[in-house]
Each structure stands twice: as structure tokens, then as C-alpha cells.
Amino acid sequence: MFSRKAGVFVVLCLGTVLVGSCFAEDGKVSGKSTDVATAGTRRPIFQSDASSQKLQTAVANDTQSGQLSGASIRAASSEELDGMEQTLDKYRTAFENLSLPQVREVWPGLDRRRASALKDVFAYLRSSKATPQLGLECAPPTVIGDSAKVECRETLAYADAKGKAKAAKPAMVSISLKKQADNWVVDTMKGLGKAD
């Protein structure tokens, strides 16, 4: 049987398996200010200040390395940005609500492996009476037709039943969105490694 600390590590790893990477629990909240008490308030997702430079560089590097076709890439319109931000905010809210049905609303193609990992993470967070806060700080998206690619810095912080703040180490993720009817939905998520 795992110790409680090892159990937390395993659950956080399962959670980050959702995006393809696994990092140890910090035991403290670090990096940008993350206040678990602010869960439920709308926090901006797309970054337009200097902190988004690394994220924009990652997208530019993908374009230069031939992973994206330069001929069809364009900037998102303000309407598209609003729609994508709403989708990512709904995903963040679904995660914080520990609701797999809500996650499926914004990620209809969620595969069985990731759904199972989410169930395990949600079960752990419920059993420990944790209050999670999922942070997404994303560079402006690149749009190709009815699809968009977003590079984000993802954080997971939570307060345990005793109110002690804990956090997983930040990770970089690539999120693919696609236009479905009049809404954007999550198509895939992939881990890019540890965030600096």
C-alpha cells in the first residue's frame, strides 16, 4: 500500500497523464501567485503580456520546424478568441468541479484512458476533501481552418481538508481545439514537458 505522500504523487501523476507528462508534487504553491481561495472566479487564460513570450516562441518554433503549415496559419479573430477562452474556462471549471460529465461537454472525444485517469484524480480529490484550482496561462492561439493550437502553462494547486496549500509542478501543454457547430471543443491535449 502506498503512503499518503506517495498516493498524492501517484494521483497527481495520473492527473498529468491527461496531458502526457508527470511531475512530482511540490508540497507548496510556487511560481506565479496561485490562490486556491480564488477558485470560481474567472481568471484570464490567454496572456498578452511579456509572460506569454515563451509560449509564443514555442508556437513559432513548431511553425519553423515544419510541424505547422505556414501558408494556412492565421491569428484568431476576437470572436474566436472569446469562444476558445470560454471553452478552456469551461474545461477548467469542470476540472475544479471534479465533474467528468462537464469535462466531456467541452472534450467530447475524451478517450477511455484519460477519462479513467480523470476519475481517479477526481476520486482522490473528493476523498481528501481537496479544493482544486487548475491554472491555464496560454499564448495566443494559431488557427488553421476550423482548428486551433494553443500552448499553455498548466498548474494544479489545491487545499487539503486542513487548508494546507499544495501544488503539482507546472507543465507545458499543447491543446488542440476544433470548431464544432458554433462552439470550440477540445480535440486533444499533449504534454510538452516541465514549465520553467
**Per-residue pLDDT of the chain in tens (196 residues, 90 and over written 9):** 334 443 444 344 444 444 443 433 444 433 333 444 444 455 668 776 544 444 444 444 554 444 554 558 888 888 999 999 999 999 999 999 999 999 999 999 999 999 999 999 999 889 888 889 999 999 999 999 999 999 999 999 988 778 888 888 899 999 999 999 889 999 999 988 876 6
The reported pTM is 0.72
Structural domains in the chain plus CATH codes: 4-194 (3.10.450.50)
Residue 170 has a pLDDT of: 93
106-125 as b/e: b if 16+ CB within 10 A: bbeebeeebeebbeebbebb
Helical segments of the chain, H only: 4-17, 53-64, 78-96, 100-106, 112-127
Residue 39 has a pLDDT of: 42
Task: Report d(CA 16, CA 7) in Å as an integer.
Answer: 14
Taking a C-beta distance cutoff of 8 angstroms, is the pair 146, 171 a contact? no
Backbone conformation region of residue 129, classed left if phi is above 0, alpha if psi is from -120 to 50, else beta: left
